[in-house]
Amino acid sequence: MLGFEAFGFEVFGFEVFGFEVLAGKSSHDGRRQVLFFRGALMPDIAFPNLRLLRSPTGRRFWLALLMIAWGVGQGLADDQADTPAAPAAPPAVDFVRDIKPIFVKHCYECHGPGEERGGLSLSQHALALAGGDSGPALVPGSAATSLLVARVDAIQPPAMPLDREPLSVAEIDLLRVWIDEGAVWPETADEADPRHRAAADHWAFRPLVKPPLPAAATDSDAAAGERLASDVIDRFVTAGLEAAGLQMQPEADRIELLRRATFDLTGLAPPPEAILPFAADPRPEAYEELIEQLLASPAYGERWARHWLDVVRYSDSGGYDTDIVYEQAWRYRQYCIRSFQEDKPFDRFLEEQVAGDELWPEQAEAMADAVAVWTLGQWPNAFDAFPDKLAYVRRNDQVVTLSEAMLGLSVGCANCHHHKYDPVSQRDYFGLEAVFAGSESFNRATGNVAWVNGEKSHFRALRHAAEPPAVHLLRRGELNQPAGRVVPAAPAFLPQGGPLFLPGEENPTQARARLAKWITGPDHPLTARVITNRIWQWHFCRGIVATPNDFGTQGAAPTHRELLDWLAADLRDRGYRLKDLHRAIMHSRTYRQSSRRESAAVASDPENILLAGFPRRRMEAEGVWDRLLEASGRLDRRPVDEPFVPPLTDEELQGLYDIGGNPRDNKWKATEAQNRRAIYMLNRRSFRMPLLEAFDQPPNSVGCPVRQSTTVPGQALALLNGDFPVEQATALKDRLFREEPESVENRLKRAWLLVFARPIRADELTSAREFLFSRPEKPTADIWIELCLALFNANEFVYLD
């Protein structure tokens, strides 16, 4: 088939025309598939007030005329291709008047503001130029090679708009002219992305300032920093409760408070000798002294570093078939423990992890421990022979971990497409990748580049890559579909976002440093809010924002937004000292209230969002392990560098695969060091110690923002029958007989202090005696083990008021 199509213009009352030659065939769906070229009998430049002739009759007339003029046209068309339009002349087609209405009518449903089906949005000039998954949509000056035209004219499948009424020939012609004239698109004609509008209003993206306090804000003692902060907590929480007709509970029983605060800050129980004296101490400052003592304990660092390790997906191995051990990952773990113990300002803590090597090169070793966090992601060994894929997987892990852990932003989806709800674009995502692309993992022992096949030692940190790969925006996140090159950048929609370097001043050896300083900058709306929320969550089991890794528009709404802002601003303004925040929280009446809840509060606020009562907590997996050992008297409080490996039975080891067929010796060889706190235990990605797994220990394939707290029969089986709990019950029995050899009553009193951290009640003493003496035929030792195991299986052991 050969055919002609034509279009005409009316210019100052004269009609001129252009034409197209169509060569092709009808496709099966009845639409045209054509090869075409375009020419004009009058040069289609420099005519103001052009108006397309839309009448079908007119078209037919021109078509007839064109058949005759074919040869001339072809010659002219060839000339035209090499002759750009005169630059001074205004375009014949006006974007706002002629083109945008076409987009709105035909394209916006899928490619309009905030829509980018197939990765393409036609709402903004830059986005249209960037194109979608199939490539750039527009080639200014060349309609013939612009995908947009090929699709709407059904030259290249799939024809657009998909499954809808096609554009009229006139509309397509307009598009052609507009593109050939340079696709002029005034900036003012861009449609705002609704995600940006939503982001501008979204509370977490707005500047962080201290909100006014509710009620009487200027108390006489409001001057003292911490006291004020505690008071502020109580004011905001009380305001929320009063609005719901609820009230705070009275202060918790002294012994409950002792156990709560001790576990909260150290993950352990108060020493049995300290329990009754604390309960009897009438001084009001006794509680504050306790908090200071706990914050100064090394155990504080062990407990709170564990929280952070969850967030940054810490693990001692790489996962997948080989689950290769990261032999020196522990250095990062120890770095975190030290940092919490020292109360390192949190902004400094973040800066050291993101770019310690760049910012403080004189502390090379210590900073290498900190930046090693970016070398601890999963290692898909299948990609050993495909270094570019491996590097891509690693960068993805780095970007996702950084943005979720430090910014509370889920950017992972922007790997493949613009974020569906938040204003995070693919460019933002790859901008962060570009930051990391300037660095490579290397083996600190040998100096070799890590992450490649054959590099067996996994003692890694980051350094600057000699030849950093160029990072491209990847359509659909596919390595084989690179689009434009991307420079190191922070998410553009945040203050001071966008490229981290001005053009010409790029310095790849300072890219992470720039990012670090951007994250901790005083104007950053997220950093302080995100860590304040985490600290709150780790005290109260639930964050003020219940989605601590997602402060975006789809995250949970804050339950006490002003309180969070106040505390976050206070933390930032006073130098990011986390221990100050602990004090503020733990001194508050909100924290100190009883966990018993009134039925009215349970009925109206079943999830205890408003905090009418302290939230009861189930110990995390590590708490169960540590407390079993502590109660039995076997806990070895000494830290260890290299992770310790407890002995496991064959039954427990059944899930562990080893390519050599010998998991016990190759992947889970019990170490000499034993009975340490669980934070020091080997943490494999492909296999977890089954007791800890039963109590919801995360495998850390990706970061874990909130521990689950499930109640499943497997936990009961583990605590009833597992070797480890039975051994600790036996050891506790021995300890009781050793420490209280004389009297059954004293032994029972001691047992309650060791396991529940409280004195035994009279009725319990009676029922325990009955349990012990109702089976005279059974050996005493076994009955005592039964008793100890029963205590470990009691709810009170794993739940803290």
Partner 1 sequence: MFCQPHRPLSRRDLLAQAGLGFGTLAALGVLGQEGVLGQEGVAAHALASRPGHFPPRARAVISLFMHGGPSQLDTFDPKPLLARYAGQTLPESFGSLDLEFTKSSTAKVLASRRTFARYGQSGLEISDLFPYLASHADRLAVVRSCHHTEFNHSPALYFMHGGNRQMGRPSLGAWCTYGLGSEAEDLPGYVVMRDGPLKSGPETYGAGFLPAVHQATELRSATPPILYLNRAAAAPPLDTRRLLDFAQALNRQHAAVRAGDDRLSARIAAGELAFRMQSAAPEAIDLARETAATHRLYGLDRDQTRSFGTQCLIARRLVERGVRFVQLYHGGGNVGWDTHGNNDGQHQINALQTDGPIAALLEDLAARGLLDSTLVMWGGEFGRTPTSEGADGRDHSPYGFSVWLAGGGVRGGMAYGATDDFGFNAVENKVPIRDLHATILHLLGLGHEELTYLFQGLDQKLTGVEPARVIRELLA
Q: In the complex, what is the shortest distance from the CB of residue 657 to partner 1, in angstroms, rounded to a whole number?
A: 4
Segment lying near partner 1 (by CB under 8 A), choices 129-137, 164-172, 237-245, 712-720? 712-720
d(CA 114, CA 141): 27
Token pair, residue 139, equals 């080639």
Residues 746-765 that bind partner 1 (CB under 8 A): 764
Segment lying near partner 1 (by CB under 8 A), choices 281-289, 449-457, 590-598, 622-630? 590-598
Phi, psi for residue 156 in degrees, rounded to 5: -125, 125
Other C-beta atoms lying within 10 Å of the C-beta of residue 76: 18
793 contacts partner 1 (rule: CB under 8 A): yes
Place of tokens 């007839």: 64
User: Residue 370: is it exposed, middle or buried by C-beta count within 10 angstroms (0-12/13-18/19+)?
Assistant: buried
Nearer to partner 1, 681 or 791 (CB): 791
Interface residue with partner 1, options 654, 666, 746, 766 (CB under 8 A)? 654
d(CA 76, CA 566): 71
# of chain residues touching partner 1 (CB under 8 A):
104
Residues 413-442 that bind partner 1 (CB under 8 A): 413, 416-417, 419-422
d(CA 433, CA 482): 14
Q: In the complex, what is the shortest distance from the CB of residue 427 to partner 1, in angstroms, rounded to a whole number?
A: 18
Long-range contacts of 387-392 (CB under 8 A, 24+ apart): 387/451, 387/452, 388/469, 388/479, 389/479, 390/451, 390/452, 391/437, 391/451, 391/469, 392/479
Token pair, residue 323, equals 């689950």
Segment lying near partner 1 (by CB under 8 A), choices 108-116, 251-259, 380-388, 635-643? 380-388
Q: In the complex, what is the shortest distance from the CB of residue 541 to partner 1, in angstroms, rounded to a whole number?
A: 9
Site string for partner 1, 35-74 (x = CB under 8 A): ----------------------------------------
Q: In the complex, what is the shortest distance from the CB of residue 706 to partner 1, in angstroms, rounded to a whole number?
A: 4
Q: Which of 298, 296, 275 is nearest to 286 (CA)?
A: 275
Segment lying near partner 1 (by CB under 8 A), choices 407-415, 455-463, 622-630, 736-744? 407-415
Segment lying near partner 1 (by CB under 8 A), choices 351-359, 461-469, 483-491, 543-551? 543-551
Q: In the complex, what is the shortest distance from the CB of residue 126 to partner 1, in angstroms, rounded to a whole number?
A: 24
162 contacts partner 1 (rule: CB under 8 A): no
Nearer to partner 1, 218 or 599 (CB): 599
Residue type (1 letter), 742 = E
Token pair, residue 333, equals 């773990």
Q: Which of 372, 451, 373, 416 is nearest to 700 (CA)?
A: 373
Nearer to partner 1, 327 or 786 (CB): 786
Residues 383-402 that bind partner 1 (CB under 8 A): 386
Interface residue with partner 1, options 585, 718, 736, 757 (CB under 8 A)? 718
Q: Could you tell me if 586 and 539 are in contact, meaning their C-beta atoms sit under 8 angstroms apart?
A: yes
Site string for partner 1, 296-335 (x = CB under 8 A): --------------x--------xxx-x------------
Residues 608-627 that bind partner 1 (CB under 8 A): 609, 616, 618
Interface residue with partner 1, options 686, 750, 757, 800 (CB under 8 A)? 686
Segment lying near partner 1 (by CB under 8 A), choices 24-32, 80-88, 365-373, 552-560? 552-560
d(CA 474, CA 37): 32
Segment lying near partner 1 (by CB under 8 A), choices 67-75, 84-92, 362-370, 683-691? 683-691
- DSSP output for 719-747: HHH-HHHHHHHHHHHHHHHHH--S-HHHH
132 contacts partner 1 (rule: CB under 8 A): no
Interface residue with partner 1, options 496, 522, 716, 773 (CB under 8 A)? 716
Residues 276-295 that bind partner 1 (CB under 8 A): none
15 contacts partner 1 (rule: CB under 8 A): no
The torsion of the CA quartet 710, 712, 716, 721, rounded to 10 degrees, works out to -110
Q: Which of 730, 721, 727, 766 is nearest to 745 (CA)?
A: 766
Q: Could you tell me if 702 and 710 are in contact, meaning their C-beta atoms sit under 8 angstroms apart?
A: no
